[in-house]
Amino acid sequence: MKIERIELALLKLDYIRFFETSFGREYGRTFILAKVWAGGTCGYGEVVASEAPLYSSETTQTAWHVLKDFLIPMVFEESIESPEGFAAAAKRFRGHAMAKAGLELALWDLRAKSEGLPLARLYGGTKTEIPVGVSCGIEDSIPELLDRIAGFVDEGYQRIKIKIKPGWDIGACEAVRNRFPDLPLQVDANGAYEILDKEHLKKLDGFGLLMIEQPFAPYDLWDHSLLQKEMKTPLCLDESILSERTARQACEMGSCRIINIKVGRVGGVVEAKRIHDYCESRGVPVWCGGMLESGIGRAHNLHIASLPNFKLPNDLSASNRYWKRDLIEPEIVLEKGGVIRVPSGPGIGINPVDERIRKATLREEAFRPE
Ligand code: OSB
Ligand code: MG
């Protein structure tokens, strides 16, 4: 499976509706697609870095640079063919998890396609249907938030997550709980609070939340442990968990009781599986987070989420929650019971549509061995 060509494309897609977090409001997403070719087969990966370094320090430009100047030359010079070989070799470079993960995902897709198997089978996935929810952004008003949630609940999603920040937290939870007393509900602060807000955050214990995601800064495992000690609602870490090592330290320190796994954030599937397995051994449930991926990245997420310790509803919604038209055919749809089926074809198991990709492409470049 000698790699003959690697292609990068920078794409821009507009959301159906803006998405606001504690970082700010966004109307669309710029991201990189990685394509890896061998023997006429193409593996696809999505690099989830955004235009600005808000969620993490990576950007589309840093990822492009690291892929072009380090990771792709490494693949060609060292004749790397396997995703595991790539993950091991890429460790020499510090950071740049999203750049690494995008290329590793493309190698996984290529491997699975060349073996004629869906990715979930390669990974050891056990589920064929993935329980899913929706991540709801911050809205201009509480009535607008409630309308949005009502729409998603009517569509059949299993749980709702709302983004919170100082000034949009207790009131929002109160309103959602009054209108939807039994709704499985969780909140995500994307690190918008600090330890001085501890007493304020403790009021969230009154709303029967499934979890509170990432109240404090990514590097702050300690402050999370102080808050978790005083709350009955489980904390879930997203931005803080960068590797199996940080997962272990967070669990041992009592910084969280649940972990959100995003392949991009942890640098690839190899590391994601190590986190999954560690958490499983400790009885800590995980779920699959999202980065508002195109259908290509989300198909990858469905395969990962088929692993057995993904025990909570995932941030994996249907194509029509994000895009007027997704990049894939068939599009991802929500099934009865609030689940999405894991694609059963080889590799990611859905077909990227070249013409839609081309229409969204701002820039592209192809690389070959010297
Ligand atoms: O914190 O989970 C997050 C989107 C972009 C950056 C960070 C996050 C999110 C989401 C979206 O919550 C989840 C999805 O893809 O549906
Ligand atoms: Mg999050």
The per-residue pLDDT for range 286-295, each reduced to its tens digit, is 999 999 999 9
The Cα 239–Cα 152 span in angstroms is: 26
**68 given a catalytic annotation:** no
Locus of tokens 């070959």: 368
Query: Rg (Cα) of the chain, in Å, rounded?
Result: 20
Spans in the chain with pLDDT lower than 70: none
The Cα 262–Cα 134 span in angstroms is: 16
By most ligand atoms within 8 Å of CB, the mutation choice from 138, 262, 292 for ligand 1 is: 292
Structural tokens at position 342? 């894991």
Q: Residues near 165 by Cβ (< 8 Å), separated by ≥ 6?
A: 21, 22, 138, 189, 190, 192
The Cα 296–Cα 332 span in angstroms is: 10
The whole-number pLDDT of residue 32 equals: 98
The whole-number pLDDT of residue 370 equals: 87
The Cα 300–Cα 70 span in angstroms is: 24
**Atom 1 in ligand 1: residue holding the nearest Cα:** 190
Cα(87) to centroid(ligand 2), Å: 24
Kindly report, residue by residue over 231-260, the tens digit of the pLDDT: 999 999 999 999 999 999 999 999 999 999
Q: Catalytic residue among 262, 273, 311, 324, which?
A: 262
Which amino acid does the sequence have at 52? Answer: A
**pTM to 2 decimal places:** 0.97
The whole-number pLDDT of residue 1 equals: 81
The whole-number pLDDT of residue 197 equals: 98
Ligand lying closest to the C-alpha of residue 238 = 2
Contact 366, 6 (CB under 8 A): yes
By most ligand atoms within 8 Å of CB, the mutation choice from 259, 315, 316, 319 for ligand 1 is: 315
Kindly report, residue by residue over 114-135, the tens digit of the pLDDT: 999 999 999 999 999 999 999 9
